[in-house]
Amino acid sequence: MSDQGTLSAEERAIVEAAAARARGALHSGSPLRDVLSVLTAAVEALGKHRVVASILVLDREGLLRNGASPNLPADYLDAIDRLKPDPRVGTCAAAAATGEVVETPSFLEDARWSELRHLPMALGFAGAWSMPIKREGRVLGTFGTYFRERRRPTAAERAAMGVLAPVAAEAIAGAW
C-alpha cells in the first residue's frame, strides 16, 4: 500500500470493489459475518497479506464479539471474546470505549496490552490499530488490523478504512 494521503488507483479499485460487494451481499440478505468478511479480506489484500484484519461487534450487552476475523485462529478469538470496552485495554476495546482511533505500534511498549500481549505476539504480530465503527455517533464495533512489524498505520490504510468502516456500520446497524 502506498504511504500517500490518498489511495493509488489500484488500491482505490480494491476498496471500492469490496465496498460494492459487501453492500450487494448485505442487500441480498447474506449473513453479517459474510458481509464483514468481504471488508476484512480487502484490508488484508491491500496489506499484501502482511496484515490480518478483524471486525468486532458490540453485542446488546455492550461486549465485543467476533463479527469477522477469518484469518485469526479460534483460540485467539475465544480469548478476546466478550471483551468489555475499556480505554485501558488493547486497541479494539480502547477504540470501542473512546470512539477514537487507537494505535499500538508495539505490543511490547504499550501498557494497554500488558495482560493480553502474549496472544497476538504468539501469532507473530508486533502491533495493531483499530478504528471504531460508528453510525450516527454511536459505536457499533471496531475494525482492527494487526501488523507483523512494529509500525503505525499508513495514511493510505487510514483512507481505505475510512471507506470500509461506514459499510461495516451499515451492515451491523442492519443486523440489529
The domain 9-175 is placed in CATH, from the list 3.30.450.40, 1.10.390.10, 3.30.565.10, 3.20.20.70, at 3.30.450.40
> What is the rounded distance in angstroms from the CA atom of residue 64 to the CA atom of residue 79?
12
- Whose grid coordinates read 478504512? 161
CB contact at 8 A, 49 and 67: no
Global confidence as pTM: 0.93
What's the number of CA atoms in the CB half-sphere (13 Å) around residue 45?
A: 16
> What is the rounded distance in angstroms from the CA atom of residue 61 to the CA atom of residue 148?
32
Each residue's pLDDT tens digit in the chain (176 positions)?
Answer: 444 458 999 999 999 999 999 999 999 999 999 999 999 999 999 988 789 999 999 999 999 999 999 999 999 999 999 999 999 999 999 999 999 999 999 999 999 999 999 999 999 999 999 999 999 999 999 999 999 999 999 988 999 999 999 999 999 998 86
> What is the rounded distance in angstroms from the CA atom of residue 30 to the CA atom of residue 136?
24
Give, in order, the Cα–Cα distances in Å from 51 to each of 9, 13, 29, 111, 148: 20, 19, 29, 22, 6
